[in-house]
Structure 1
Amino acid sequence: MSSILKTLNIMAADFGRVLLLYGGTSAERPVSLKGGKAVHAALLDAGIDCFHLDPADGLSAIVDSSFDRALILLHGRGGEDGSIQGLLQLMGKPYTGSDVLTSALAMNKLRTKQLWLSQGLPTPAFVVLQADTDWSAAIAQLGGEAMVKPVHEGSSIGMRRVHSANELQAAWTHAATYDSVVIAEQYIRGREYTMAVLHDQALPIIGLSTGEAFYDYAAKYELNSTRYGLPCDLGKREPEVAALALQANQAVGARGWSRVDLMIDQHDTVWLLEVNTVPGMTDHSLVPMAAAAIGLDFQSLVVLVLAETLADATAIHINSHLTHLLDSWRAQNIG
């Protein structure tokens, strides 16, 4: 039995037969495939009866399969947007991560920002772009510099940083090939951070630094030049920033595991960017990195994600274990 199963006082057999979903049809398919293979190996090594299906091969295999619960490692549309969650819910199968409503909401950057603003949470100003947008007025409204984002894409796919009306229009044209809804967001000049949430508890915040124009797809998954601050440079301010990120996470209703991306500008103001309800699990991914910092190896992290689908009694052991690890890490790194 793996050490994490002993710690949680559960058996591998308690999970029954586990369906692992990875691959999918979104632009983030390569990330899902890479992470999914690692998660599959970790589950099998823990002695958990696990098999894999790829929704890109059709949904009938899922409907026709016999399984007790599902671990979702699909990123982007068709897997992180509530679609697969709805199917599993109709089948009466427990699944990892957020429910249908939260998954759909968090996948939509525009709706997430509107929700945060309604609750007084800080997120950069934005403009919804369309073919008839006054490009000069839009870039001026955002302070002369902006990030253009397809609303329903993740992993920075389709994003561009712009500095002029012409660049804004060109970036919209590019982003519109990925999504029918595109926004331009006020560019925040400052430091970028991310915070993983596991069973409603904030893992250590990671500071991100890259030589690229921004923390784009290459910086996230391909380059080895990206620098990660863990512990980050927030010092004793980290609990305050973590509390705000947790509030943002709770506002959208995320559960199980997720990741909140944010920035802090030159005036030390915190800006919330987005919530990822199915974070990456590759060798470049941030949730495994944060988990490792508090003493959770990759297999333990995967088992903890899956354990959310068990009875509520298990949650008591999980929260106690995480609290102990986090208290130890904070005592050593924050004081």
Structure 2
Amino acid sequence: MSGKLAGHHVAVLLGGLSSEREVSLVSGKACADALERLGARVTRVDAGRDLAQVLANLKPDVCFNALHGEWGEDGCVQGILETLAIPYTHCGVLASALAMDKAKAKAVLAAAGVTVPGGGLFNRHDVARDHVIPPPYVVKPNAEGSSVGVFIVMEGANRPPHEVGVESWTHGEDVMVEPFIAGLELAVAVMDGVAQAVTEIVPTSGFYDFEAKYGEGGSQHLIPARMPKDDYDKALRLAERAHAALGCRGVTRSDLRYDPVKRDLVLLEVNTQPGMTPTSLAPEQAAHQGVSFDDLVFWIVEDAYARGGAGGRTQNRQPSGQKPQ
């Protein structure tokens, strides 16, 4: 393993400006440490508004984008990297922007035959004032991840979540409101277009919120998920179809809900830059397939190299660890 990326300069983009900054710092550190074990010269870049100038001065061979949330995951940073013609990991501009916008992503996925939740976008003040759809339902920002700003309004609730209407709300004027789908929480990582496994997530708090995702002992991950093989295979295929429909590349993670009684599967969303923390799902699924964390990080960087500069116009893959010539 040691030396696979010797002589290669990798800039790891981490931190950033979004509400998911703290998660990104953990993901970025884990990936930067792995890259150093692989022999790369690593520069950790806390991505700010001066990112273009910082990268122009650094001149890295490739950027490992470990940012999460707005600006880092929605196509903006990808556009900077396109302009600088620096190869970068994960999805390109269009797929990143599309997947981050839940309403637009749902429309594309539904057109591709992927079952998605109902509901729609509503003004946050209307949502805070009264029930816009009958409970139970879920309220979430249209362009956030990591369960930031998510509320579940259960059946019999007397009032909607007033938090979305307060002045301190920073997650956009329109929010996504969807019917609550009972059942198992599932996740499927897709690597190079191929689904890896289905993880069943069992949160200790009863809801897979931010703390359950990233806190110690917040949830239990069961691989493979406890479900009939036909439904397990269907979950794999749905994630692959969603990955392809949005134009994704590299590693993504699809989140799904599964009703074990009706045997219904619904795809909630696609994450174009899955978490790479010690408790993250994509690395766990890679390990389940026999791929270590360092090997996964190496593959992600190699995938970026294979696509070349300007976001991937060079499609021919190179031998392991070698830059395009």
Confirm whether residue 285 of structure 1 aligns to residue 277 of structure 2.
Answer: no
1:211 and 2:204 are equivalent in the alignment? yes
User: 1 CA distance for matches of 2:241 and 2:35?
Assistant: 31
Partner of 1:328: none
**Bigger shift: 29-38 or 15-24?**
15-24
Q: How does 1:244-255 map to 2 (within 5 A)?
A: 244-255=238-249
* Alignment check: 8 A CA contact 1:129 1:182 kept: yes
Q: TM-score, normalised by structure 2?
A: 0.87
CA distance in 2, matches of 1:277, 1:300: 19
Does residue 81 of the first structure (1) align with residue 74 of the second (2)? Answer: yes
The correspondence for 2:101, drawn from 105, 108, 121, is 108
Residue 17 of structure 1 contacts residue 69 of structure 1 at CA under 8 Å; is this kept in 2?
yes
Query: Which amino acid in structure 1 is aligned with residue 64 of structure 2?
Result: L
- Quick one: which amino acid aligns to residue 111 of structure 1? K
Say whether 1:69 aligns with 2:62: yes
Structure 1 CA distance for aligned equivalents of residues 218 and 131 of structure 2: 37
Change (3 A) 1:113 1:167: farther
Partners of 1:51 and 1:99 in 2: CA distance: 22
Cα deviation 1:211-247 (Å, max 9, x = unaligned): 3242100000013041111121124222222011110
Take 2:122 and 2:30, find their aligned partners in 1: how far apart are those partners?
38
1:18-44 per-residue CA deviation (whole Å, 9 max, x = no partner) reads: 111111011111111011111111101
1:172 shift after superposition? 3.3
Aligned equivalents of 2:242, 2:318: Cα separation in 1 = 22
Q: Are residues 215 and 137 of structure 1, via their aligned partners in 2, closer, same or farther at CA, if it must alter by over 3 Å?
A: closer
Tell me how far 1:108 sits from its aligned partner. 1.0
Q: Structure 2 regions of 5+ residues with no counterpart?
A: 307-314
3-state secondary structure, aligned to 1:110: helix
Task: Tell me which residue corresponds to 1:48.
Answer: 40
Look up the match of 2:8. 16
The count of corresponding residues between Structure 1 and Structure 2 is 307
What residue is the counterpart of 2:309 in the other structure?
none
Equivalent residue, structure 2, for 1:94: 87
Matches within 5 A, 1:163-182: 163=154, 167-173=159-165, 176-182=169-175
1:148 touches 1:168 (CA, 8 Å); kept in 2? no
1:147-190: per-residue Cα shift (whole Å, max 9, x none)?
10001110000001003575325253269432222011110010
- Match status 1:256 vs 2:250: yes
Distance 1:161 1:289 in 2: 27
Which secondary structure state, in structure 1, belongs to the residue aligned with residue 190 of structure 2? Answer: strand
Q: Does the CA-based 8 Å contact 1:195-1:261 persist in structure 2?
A: yes
> What do you get for the CA RMSD once the two structures are aligned?
2.3
TM alignment of 1:88-237, pairs within 5 A: 88-130=81-123, 131-132=125-126, 138-140=132-134, 144-163=135-154, 167-173=159-165, 176-237=169-230
Distance in structure 2 (CA, Å) of the matches to 1:204 and 1:315: 27
Match of 1:272 among 259, 267, 271: 267
Query: Which 10-residue stretch deviates more, 282-291 or 303-312?
Result: 303-312
More helix by share: 1
**Once the two structures are aligned, what percentage of the paired residues are identical?**
35
* Contact kept in structure 2, 1:162 and 1:171, CA below 8 Å: no
- Contact 2:112 2:241 survives alignment (8 Å): no
Q: Specify the SS of the correspondent of 1:12.
A: coil
- The secondary structure found in structure 2 opposite 1:304 is helix
Deviations along 1:282-315, one digit per CA (max 9) or x if unpaired, are: 1111111111111111111100111102235547
- Give distance in 2, aligned partners of 1:73 and 1:256: 13
